[in-house]
């Protein structure tokens, strides 16, 4: 088992090395060697009431864990039909040879019981089949209707234990839900779990809304709205529903993001044909101007330590990526490849910047180091932009559009995710067309 854990880490290491070696347009695809995992159904102990039995969470929790792990591309889930041992017996102590026989390398088992005051106790164990040992065991307490959240937390624990990386399953995605014809698109803010479940619409669609982004605690969202036909940046508390205008600017404010401490909003302000970058302190309302250049300066994104800012500027004549210190000094261009570069977003790990690139009429999502070296393109398409990082910095979400015909039909925006390695590209199903996704941090990190 140790060997397999090492192998996953080793693969990450290799790919990271490769990242820095490649410079030109190169899209690597293929499959890693996913880890065979057996996820047993959980079992309900005798404390469970008839009402809770109806939820059949003993099957749904493992199913959700399995969905999470297989979508990561790092795991291969074995068919439940092939399992020989019953869930309760396996949870106590599995007969390792039975699981080794079906080629499982790790096994997940679990038990659900009811505590006083109606709280659910969900415990799980992770077993190493090869070395016949228990790798970890944990219990979560929650209300029965919160079983999805618990499933995500367990998924993160398994991912962490087996890859040595932080997980990202207990997180949410905010995006813009799109409906209606292209010339009169209705756009609403929507939020959902990272697996696409439990969508909630936060605005009604009466006004155009764009580019929502989570605060570090995921309690607030900053976005742009055309409320009363005045395009401005807003701050929304998604728990209370209260929203505020950000600053008192005599023109369009746009492209907002939070500072990593959540205290400031950084954005562009456009006036007299010129867009510059500003910050506003949310509490004191103090506004600071960071760039002062007659070109377009937009799409600012802080480094996770808050010391630097990446942004988009056409001061060279075309859209390129620049970085500067957080006080606006030391402006330095970092993108020098062929084509146009936009939407820089700093990885939560701090080492990489994700971007959108337009080259020869194709759009690419790519990454480069913060000094501009090691540019690597992950995916090429007709149109795609706006990458946003998963909390562990291993996966990117973005949106992709298809071309429409002469009547405006056929086009549409969808959310996609891709691993930093360039592997495991996946469509994320949404009820409506969707764009401008932004990944939250880990909810449990609050």
Partner 1 sequence: MLLNKLNKIILALTVTLFLGACATQQKATTTPTDDAYTGTETVKYLADGVPDRVFFATNKSDLTSAASATLAKQAAYLKANPNLNVVLEGHADERGTREYNLALGERRATAAKNYLISNGIAANRIKVISYGKEKPANPASNALAWSQNRRAVTVKTN
Tell me which residues touch partner 1 (CB under 8 A). Answer: 181-185, 208, 210-211, 224, 229, 231, 251-252, 254-255, 268, 270, 272-275, 296, 298-299, 312, 314, 318-319, 342-343, 356, 358, 361, 383, 385-386, 401, 403-408, 411, 436
Please say which residue, 80 or 362, places its beta carbon nearer to partner 1: 362
Kindly give the pairing relationship between strand 412-419 and strand 433-439. unpaired
Please say which residue, 331 or 358, places its beta carbon nearer to partner 1: 358
Q: Which residues pair with 172 in a beta bridge?
A: 193
Please say which residue, 21 or 406, places its beta carbon nearer to partner 1: 406
The span from the CA of 12 to the CA of 423, in Å, is 12
CB of 25 to partner 1, least distance (A): 18
Q: For residue 439, which phi and psi values (nearest 5 degrees)?
A: -85, 135
CB of 403 to partner 1, least distance (A): 3
Look up tokens 């910047």; give the residue. Answer: 353
Please say which residue, 122 or 345, places its beta carbon nearer to partner 1: 345
The span from the CA of 344 to the CA of 388, in Å, is 9
CB of 397 to partner 1, least distance (A): 15
The span from the CA of 323 to the CA of 290, in Å, is 12
CB of 255 to partner 1, least distance (A): 4
**What are the C-alpha distances in Å from 313 to residues 53, 270, 344?**
58, 13, 11
Please say which residue, 184 or 239, places its beta carbon nearer to partner 1: 184
Please say which residue, 128 or 375, places its beta carbon nearer to partner 1: 375
Let me know how long the chain is: 446
The residues, ordered by sequence, that sit 6+ positions from 217 with a Cβ below 8 Å of its Cβ are: 262, 441, 446
CB of 12 to partner 1, least distance (A): 29
CB of 129 to partner 1, least distance (A): 48
The span from the CA of 122 to the CA of 110, in Å, is 7
DSSP 8-state code for residue 403: P
CB of 323 to partner 1, least distance (A): 17
Q: Which residues pair with 297 in a beta bridge?
A: 313
- The side-by-side arrangement of strands in the sheet containing 395-402 is 383-389, 395-402, 412-419, 426-428
CB of 242 to partner 1, least distance (A): 25
Please say which residue, 90 or 209, places its beta carbon nearer to partner 1: 209
Report yes or no: 386 and 399 within 8 Å, Cβ to Cβ: yes
Please say which residue, 8 or 321, places its beta carbon nearer to partner 1: 321
Please say which residue, 76 or 383, places its beta carbon nearer to partner 1: 383
Report yes or no: 109 and 42 within 8 Å, Cβ to Cβ: yes
3-state secondary structure of 379: strand
The span from the CA of 328 to the CA of 290, in Å, is 5
The span from the CA of 321 to the CA of 354, in Å, is 10
Please say which residue, 158 or 277, places its beta carbon nearer to partner 1: 277
Please say which residue, 143 or 316, places its beta carbon nearer to partner 1: 316
CB of 405 to partner 1, least distance (A): 7
Q: Which helix (H) or strand (E) covers residue 428, if one does?
A: strand 426-428
What percentage of the chain's residues is helix, strand, coil (to nearest 5)? 20, 40, 40
**What are the C-alpha distances in Å from 40 to residues 49, 145, 414?**
22, 21, 33
Please say which residue, 124 or 364, places its beta carbon nearer to partner 1: 364
CB of 321 to partner 1, least distance (A): 11
CB of 72 to partner 1, least distance (A): 28
Report yes or no: 323 and 285 within 8 Å, Cβ to Cβ: no
| CA-closest candidate to residue 264, choices 331, 203, 324, 309 | 309
Q: How is residue 77 written in tokens?
A: 């889930």
CB of 197 to partner 1, least distance (A): 26
């Amino acid at each position: 088992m140790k060997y397999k854990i090492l192998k996953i880490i080793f693969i990450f290491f290799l790919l990271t090395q490769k990242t820095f070696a490649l410079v030109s347009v190169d899209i690597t695809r293929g499959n890693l060697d996913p880890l065979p995992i057996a996820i047993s159904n959980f079992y309900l102990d005798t404390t469970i009431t008839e009402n809770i039995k109806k939820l059949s969470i003993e099957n749904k929790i493992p199913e959700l864990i399995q969905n999470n792990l297989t979508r990561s591309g790092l795991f291969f889930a074995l068919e439940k039909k092939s399992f020989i041992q019953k869930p309760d017996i396996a949870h106590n102590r599995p007969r390792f040879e039975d699981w080794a026989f079906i080629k499982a390398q790790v096994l997940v088992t679990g038990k659900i019981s009811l505590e006083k005051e109606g709280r659910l106790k969900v415990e799980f164990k992770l077993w190493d089949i090869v070395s016949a040992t228990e790798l970890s065991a944990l219990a979560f307490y929650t209300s029965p209707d919160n079983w999805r959240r618990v499933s995500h937390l367990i998924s993160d624990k398994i991912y962490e234990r087996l890859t040595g990386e932080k997980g990202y399953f207990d997180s949410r995605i905010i995006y813009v839900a799109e409906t209606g014809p292209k010339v009169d698109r209705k756009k609403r803010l929507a939020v959902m779990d990272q697996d696409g479940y439990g969508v909630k619409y936060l605005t009604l669609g009466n006004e155009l809304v764009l580019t929502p982004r989570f605060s570090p605690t995921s309690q607030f969202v900053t976005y742009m709205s055309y409320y009363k036909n005045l395009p401005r940046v807003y701050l929304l508390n998604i728990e209370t529903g209260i929203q505020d205008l950000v600053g008192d600017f005599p023109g369009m404010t746009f492209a907002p993001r939070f500072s990593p401490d959540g205290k400031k909003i950084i954005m562009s302000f456009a006036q007299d044909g010129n867009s510059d970058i500003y910050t506003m302190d949310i509490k004191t309302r103090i506004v600071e101007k960071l760039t002062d250049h007659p070109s377009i300066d937009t799409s600012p994104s802080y480094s996770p330590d808050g010391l630097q800012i990446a942004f988009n500027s056409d001061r060279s004549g075309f859209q390129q990526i620049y970085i500067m210190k957080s006080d606006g000094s030391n402006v330095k261009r970092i993108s020098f490849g062929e084509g146009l570069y936009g939407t820089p977003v700093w990885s939560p790990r701090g080492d990489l910047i994700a971007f959108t690139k337009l080259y020869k009429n194709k759009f690419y999502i790519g990454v480069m180091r913060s000094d501009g070296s090691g540019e690597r393109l992950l995916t090429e398409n007709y149109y795609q932009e706006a990458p946003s990082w998963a909390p562990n910095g291993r996966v990117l979400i973005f949106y992709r559009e298809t071309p429409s015909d002469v009547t405006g039909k056929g086009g549409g925006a969808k959310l996609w995710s891709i691993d930093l390695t360039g592997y495991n590209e996946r469509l994320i199903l949404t009820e409506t067309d969707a764009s401008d996704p932004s990944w939250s941090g880990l909810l449990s990190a609050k």
